[in-house]
Amino acid sequence: MRKYLSGLDGVTSVEVDVDPGLVTDDRWDVAVNLEGDPGQDSVLAIIRNARNEVVSLVDSDKVELDVTWTQGATSMSCHLPTDDLEKAVPAVMKVVSSEVESVEISWDRIRLRYHGVKTLPDNFILPLTSPVVGVGSLKTEQNIVVGSSNCYITHFKGVDLTSVPIKSVLDAIPADKRVNAMVDLDAHNDVNQVTQLRVWGLGEYGKGVDVGAAAPVLAAVLGNRTLQRVELATAPNDDYDSEVVAFDMNGGAVVGQGDPPEKGAPILAAAQQAASSSS
């Protein structure tokens, strides 16, 4: 198997790790590294056939294969098996740039990691017309560190996220809450099945979500018609639990007083006042 993979055009190294199975077949983890800046057809030729050939050679379908290479200054990786790989590879080749640190095609998504910035660039959120959004059944995730805050944007199901003022959300987080704060915009949240924004770090666990920190964040998205839910959360504790105040949205307005309402009402009132005073 190693001989077969090493003999493929463009392959520079092969690593194999076998986890012996006591009851089921052995598990094979295989890493294949390619020479820098391979052509699209070369990558496709390898991912199209390599895993199936390895499965045949080792007589086991418990094979996971990672193909890695560099494209310009961007680190690229492809995990097999993954759906729609033959659509994903040409798509990611089109979005490689100096701003993108790494691209990973894995399981159910394409993940773009960007180099950290002090301020989020305008028009950072990819439009639906981007070649890397809406590739088959795959989600597309953008990851970036802005100052000392983490920002994640997940595209899925044809939802256009470009109207969500994510830069304003990041700017609205108070300076003393930005270290390790996290902003997560999800086109289709798996739990709530809606387009959702969640912001962590707006208070200390055990003391609840801070009204003064949460209100300007909520104010930043009032009027946005894309969002269906906003969750404002404290920093997580050691068990990764957070206290959350949630707001359902419809047509840009908050429905009700938030959940729980006794925590949501003061945040909503302060957010509405801030939004009206800034308009």
Give pLDDT, residue 279: 63
Question: Distance between CA atoms of 13 and 35, rounded to whole angstroms?
Answer: 9
Per-residue pLDDT, 110: 97
Work out the pLDDT band at 23, boundaries 50, 70, 90.
low
Taking a C-beta distance cutoff of 8 angstroms, is the pair 124, 142 a contact?
yes
pLDDT for 34 equals 96
User: What's the whole-number mean pLDDT along residues 72-94?
Assistant: 92
Answer for the pair 183, 214: CB distance below 8 angstroms, yes or no.
Answer: no
Cα gap 273→227, rounded to integer Å: 20
3-state secondary structure of 258: strand
Nearest to 65 by CA among 34, 38, 111: 34
Per-residue model confidence as pLDDT tens digits over 199-226 = 999 999 999 999 999 999 999 999 999 9
Whether the link from the prior residue into 216 is cis, omega within 30° of 0, is no
- For 87-111, the pLDDT digits (tens) are 999 999 999 999 999 999 998 999 9
Q: How many CA atoms lie within 13 A of 15 on its CB side?
A: 8
Residues 14-35 have a mean pLDDT of 85
